[in-house]
Amino acid sequence: MNAWAEEIGAELLGRHVVIHNYRQGLGRTRVRRDNAPVEIEVSDTPLTSLHPHGNQILQALVLHELGHHVCDFGEPGFRTVDKRSRREGLAAMMNILMDERLERQLRSRRPEWGAYFDRLGAYAFARNEHNVPIGAYARLIEREVSEVEGAIRRGDIPGRLLQPDAGESEMRVALRDSDMLRIPGLLPTHVAFMMCFRCGFDPQSCADPRVAEAINLVPRNLKELSHAKLLPLARELANLIGARENLTQELTLLQQKVQDNPDVLGQLGEGIDRLVECNQLPGWERKDASKIRMTPPSRAQIKREVPLHVPGARF
């Protein structure tokens, strides 16, 4: 991976690139003005978890961090816009937009890089169905089992009814990660927005109609927009779904729900963990974006950043 990163770093930046393993589970890089090597820290969890596409996911993480150097740090106007967005409380929203913008720029440079980013997007949510006991599903949405069965049959709530497992009497329900978006009130709007904007879920399927409206606000030519033009877009998005510089409260509530409903939400919790691990949920990271890139985090910050953890989950 180091040799690959060096080669790509030389191609994109004409600079020497050094990769560090960052075990707290974030991809990070820092602004360097001198000619020193560009240092990048990425989590190696995609590899150590023996994910089938671990290597490509790691390559996507490295490319993403290099992309900040190519598409953001050196760009004229970046520093001014960066400062202003922070003053306006829009740093997290700007980060989301810059992340997507740089990936679209790199995709257009080389299609195989796009394939790595697709792997990264699919890494957080596996998109396979998981089947859960109907009683657990009913508890999550606070309805009676018989009601849930009828509602699924009518298509009022997401899921597909399955026969009980051998030796059991309780029906089961097949749920996909995208079904989670359809359950009203389950996901914080920002998380639903991220799942659609960064991981390719269908915004039309979201229980909260603002998610689709927000996705519609993002112009098709995002990758061509200057930083100065990203800022008004960040403002518009924030007006619609809130700026959410800090998602801690909402994610803590969701974490509680995941822990209370491990059968139904375990997989969702793992997906959110992976979003955090891949640095795709600005707002659950360090509040101050400059600190992400300039200084090591304080102990308190690391504590706040510990991903949602599902007991017994490994990823």
Please say whether the dihedral angle defined by the alpha carbons of residues 288, 97, 60 and 30, taken in this order, is positive or negative. Answer: negative
Choose which of 41, 72, 99, 273 interacts with Zn ion (CB under 5 A): 99
Q: Is 208 in the site for Zn ion (CB under 5 A)?
A: no
Please state the closest distance from residue 133 (CB atom) to Zn ion, in A: 38
Nearer to Zn ion, 28 or 51 (CB): 28
How far apart are alpha carbons 302 and 225 in whole angstroms? Answer: 33
User: In the bound complex, which residue of the shown chain has the CB atom lying closest to Zn ion?
Assistant: 99
Nearer to Zn ion, 99 or 245 (CB): 99
How many residues line the site for Zn ion (CB under 5 A)? Answer: 1
Nearer to Zn ion, 117 or 315 (CB): 117
How far apart are alpha carbons 137 and 159 in whole angstroms? Answer: 10
Nearer to Zn ion, 94 or 254 (CB): 94
Nearer to Zn ion, 99 or 270 (CB): 99
Please state the closest distance from residue 185 (CB atom) to Zn ion, in A: 29
Nearer to Zn ion, 210 or 291 (CB): 291
Please say whether the dihedral angle defined by the alpha carbons of residues 275, 276, 277 and 279, taken in this order, is positive or negative. Answer: positive
How far apart are alpha carbons 270 and 275 in whole angstroms? Answer: 9
Nearer to Zn ion, 99 or 273 (CB): 99
Q: Is 277 in the site for Zn ion (CB under 5 A)?
A: no
Q: Is 250 in the site for Zn ion (CB under 5 A)?
A: no
- The residues in 69-98 that bind Zn ion, with binding defined as CB under 5 A, are none
Please state the closest distance from residue 179 (CB atom) to Zn ion, in A: 28
How far apart are alpha carbons 208 and 100 in whole angstroms? Answer: 22
- The residues in 112-141 that bind Zn ion, with binding defined as CB under 5 A, are none
Please state the closest distance from residue 271 (CB atom) to Zn ion, in A: 19
Please state the closest distance from residue 241 (CB atom) to Zn ion, in A: 19
Please state the closest distance from residue 273 (CB atom) to Zn ion, in A: 18
Residues that bind Zn ion (CB under 5 A): 99
